[in-house]
Amino acid sequence: MKRRVTTHVLDLASGRPGAGIPVLLERATGDTDWDVIGRASTDGAGRAEPLTEPGRGLIRGIYRLTFETDGYFRARGAEYLYPVITVVFRVEHPDEDYHLPILLSPFGFSTYRGS
């Protein structure tokens, strides 16, 4: 079974899911090059899954999730600091799923490996 990367966004300021945020998943292919693995937008529950394209599994390496939050905050008329959030992570065990949520607010964010 091919494993995958999933994510979701929770807006801590509103206590609601962060819906409609474009998310890009890439894998490093060199010192400065990245290969697009998948893309999606968060749904009404704040989830973007799966991000890996059908039939494409994970391999060991460095990956990058990019959350384009600019439009999300602008649509709410909010003052904010981060128009884009980038999370770089290492896949050591490609036989496992990687769930990487974002806890978002206008002036900060955090992430963790969920289940």
Q: Where are the domains of the chain?
A: 5-111
- Can you give the pLDDT at residue 1? 57
* Preceding amide of 54 cis, omega within 30: no
Tens of pLDDT along the chain (115 residues)?
A: 568 899 999 999 999 999 999 999 999 998 889 999 999 999 999 999 778 776 777 899 999 999 999 999 999 999 999 999 999 999 999 889 899 999 999 999 999 999 8
- Can you give the pLDDT at residue 55? 72
Phi/psi at 39 (nearest 5 deg)? -150, 150
What's the CATH superfamily of 5-111?
Transthyretin/hydroxyisourate hydrolase domain (2.60.40.180)
User: What is this structure's pTM?
Assistant: 0.93
Burial class (CB in 10 A: 0-12, 13-18, 19+), 10: middle
Q: Taking the mean position of all CA atoms in its chain, how far away is CA 99?
A: 9
- Can you give the pLDDT at residue 63? 96
E strand spans, the chain: 5-11, 16-17, 22-28, 34-41, 47-48, 61-68, 84-91, 98-99, 102-105, 108-111
- Can you give the pLDDT at residue 2? 66
Give the SS3 label for residue 53.
coil
d(CA 110, CA 88): 13
